[in-house]
Amino acid sequence: MATNYINGVASKFTTFFLICALLFSGGLCQSVPGIYTFGDSLVDVGNNNRLPLSLAKASFPHNGIDFPTGKATGRFSNGKNVADFAAEKVKLPTGPSYLSLLSKRKKLGDAPVTGVNFASGGAGIFNETCELFKQSIALAQQVEYYSLVHDQLVQKLGSTRAGTHLTKSLFIIVIGGNDLLAYFKKNSKVSKKYTPQQYVDLMASTLTQLMEKLYGMGARKFVVTGVAMVGCCPDQRKQSATSECKADANYWSAKYNDVLKTSLKNLKLESSDINYSYFDTYGAMNALIQNPQAYEIAEIKEACCGLGKLKADVPCTPISTYCSNRNDYLFWDLFHPTEKVSNIFIDLLYNGPKQFTLPMNVEQLKQSIALAQQVEYYSLVHDQLVQKLGSTRAGTHLTKSLYIIVIGGNDLLAYFKKNSKVSKKYTPQQYVDLMASTLTQLMEKLYGMGARKFVVTGVAMVGCCPDQRKQSATSECKADANYWSAKYNDVLKTSLKNLKLESSDINYSYFDTYGAMNVLIQNPQAYEIVEIKEACCGLGKLKADVPCTPISTYCSNRNDYLFWDLYHPTEKVSNIFIDLLYNGPKQFTLPMNVEQLVRL
C-alpha cells in the first residue's frame, strides 16, 4: 500500500507536503478558531461597564449611536471598534468581555472557544497608568485573567486539542497610548522618574515580557499595534492655540514604536515559532491626516462628540453634542477614532501593504508560511544536514530524497474571491503563468541545495470545494475557478518539461489532481463515496459558512464524504489520491508515477 510506503521511508524523505502552502503571500487555507484581545479603550467591548469606580466608561449615549443595536455597549465609538472588525475579517463573533463571563461570586463561567476580550478603557502596559481613570484592568491583570480562560479551555478540549486551537488563534494587543498620555500629562509623576527614552524602553520590554507569558500559555500568533500619533488626538490638539498636534508626544510615540518593532524582532529570534503582524498605527494615521480626501474624511482635528474647544473639553456624554456626518470625522471623541476610521485601520492591518504591516499582514499571519519562506527554512535544514553528514554523504542523501510540493489551490481561491486585489492586477492568464514560473524558480533554488527528485501535484477542481459551491443557488461547481485551475495545470506541466530540459538530472512525477478529483466526482460510487458537495465538518450551507472548529458539527460517516471541511478532502480521499500518485496509471501521473521515480 502507498500509505505503508510513505510511513516506512518517511525518515529518508526531505518532504515539502504543503497542502496549506502559498506561492504568493495571500490565500484562504488556514482558519482562525479564536481571537483573544488585550488592550485599552480602542478594543474594549464592555469590560469597563463592570468596573464601578472607573471614570473611563462608554455605557451611555451618544456612544453606540451607529452600532447595530443603536445603543451604547461600552465601546468608545459611535459604532463598532477594531475588535469587532477584526473578528468579522476572520468570520468569528466578537469575543465577549471577560468580566461579563463572571458570576456574582466572581467565578468564571463558560468562556466561548471562539475567544474572549480582556481589554479595558484607560488600561496601560504599566499598572500605574490605570490611575488616570481611577480603575482599569492593567495589561498584566488581563494576562492573568487569560490564564483562567486558558485553564478552562484545556479542561474542555484536552491538552492536545487546546494547544492546537491556541496555536492557530490570534492574540491581539492594542495598548500603549494611555501610558504615553500619562507621561506627557501636566504634573506627571512618571516623567520625573524616567527620561522619555527610559520610559519607552520600559514600555516595550514590559509588553514583550507579558507576550512571553502568553507564549507560555499557548499563544503563537500575535497581532500587535504600535501607538498612533498620540499628540494629534483632540485632547492634545486643544492645548495648542492653533490646534496643532503636540510635537513631543508624537516624537516619543514614534520612538516607542521603533523600540517595540526591535523588541518584537528579538522575541521572534528567541522563540522561532512565534509569528506576528505589527501594525504601524502611527503611519496609517499620518497618511490619513496628510491626505484625508483620499479616505473621504473632512474633519481631522475636532471630535464628533463632546463639548468645548475641538469638542475635547468634555468627553462624549449624554449632555454632549455630536455631529450628524460621522463618516466625515477622524475622531469620535477626544481620544478615539470613529467607526469608519477603525474600519479603515483594520482593512490596512488585515490585508494592507508592507508600508503599514510588518513582517506580514494579518491575512498572511492567519494563513500559512509562503512557499518562498519554506524554501528559506529548508536551507537551514540543508545546512544542518551537511554539518551532520558531511558534504558528500549529505549530497547523496538528498539526491535520493523526494521533494513533495502540493500547492497552488489557495492562490486560485485568492484570485477568484470577492473583491480580489490580484484579479485587478493580473488577467487570469497572466496570473497562472506567474504562478507556474514562481514555482519552478523556487524548485531551481531547491535544486541548488541538492534536490533532484520532485513530486509535484497540479491543483484540484478548486471551483468544486464546498466554499465555492455554496456561492451557487444549486450548489454547482464554480466554472471560472475550475477553468483556470485546468489552465494553470497545463502551464505547470509545460514549465516542468522545460525545467527538465534545462537540468537533465532533475526527475519528477506530476500528479493530475484535477483529473483524479473529476473522476471521483463523476463516478463517486466506484470509490464508495456518497457525498461530493457538502463538507463533513462545519456549519451553514454545505457546512461551508463556518470552518471546522470546536463549535462545528461533523458527520459520523466520514468515509462517505469527499470533503472534510470547506476546502480539504477527507482522510479516505487523500489516501485514494496517494494510491494513484504512487503507483497509478499514466492517466494521472506523468512522465512517471512515484514508484518509478524512486527506482531511478
Give catalytic status of residue 313 as yes or no: no
Q: What is the DSSP letter of 187?
A: T
Instruction: Using DSSP, state whether 546 is helix, strand or coil.
Output: strand
What backbone phi and psi angles, to 5 degrees, belong to 567?
-130, -30
- As a whole number of angstroms, the distance between CA 61 and CA 80 comes to 14
Q: Looking at this protein, which amino acid is placed at residue 354?
A: K
72 contacts 326 by C-beta, under 8 angstroms: no
Q: Which of 62, 336, 382, 568 is catalytic?
A: 336
- Buried b / exposed e along 284-322 (16+ C-beta atoms within 10 A): bbbbbbeeeeeeebebbbbbbbbbeebbbeebbbeebeb
Which of 298, 313, 277, 324 shows the shortest CA–CA distance to 65? 324
113 CB-near residues (< 8 Å, 6+ apart): 33, 34, 153, 156, 157, 165, 549, 550, 551
Give catalytic status of residue 41 as yes or no: yes
Q: Which of 44, 84, 333, 512 is catalytic?
A: 333
Q: Which three cell numbers stand for residue 494?
A: 509545460
Instruction: Using DSSP, state whether 308 is helix, strand or coil.
Output: coil
Give catalytic status of residue 490 as yes or no: no
Site of grid cell 516607542: 256
Kindly list the distances between the CA atom of residue 78 and the CA atoms of 244, 304, 311, 477, in Å, as whole numbers in the listed order: 24, 9, 15, 41
Please give the sequence-ordered ranges of beta strands (E in DSSP) within 22-129, or none if there are none.
35-39
Bond before 62 cis per omega within 30 degrees: yes
- Buried b / exposed e along 46-71 (16+ C-beta atoms within 10 A): bbbbbbeebebbbeebbbbbbbeeee
Active site amino acids = 41, 333, 336
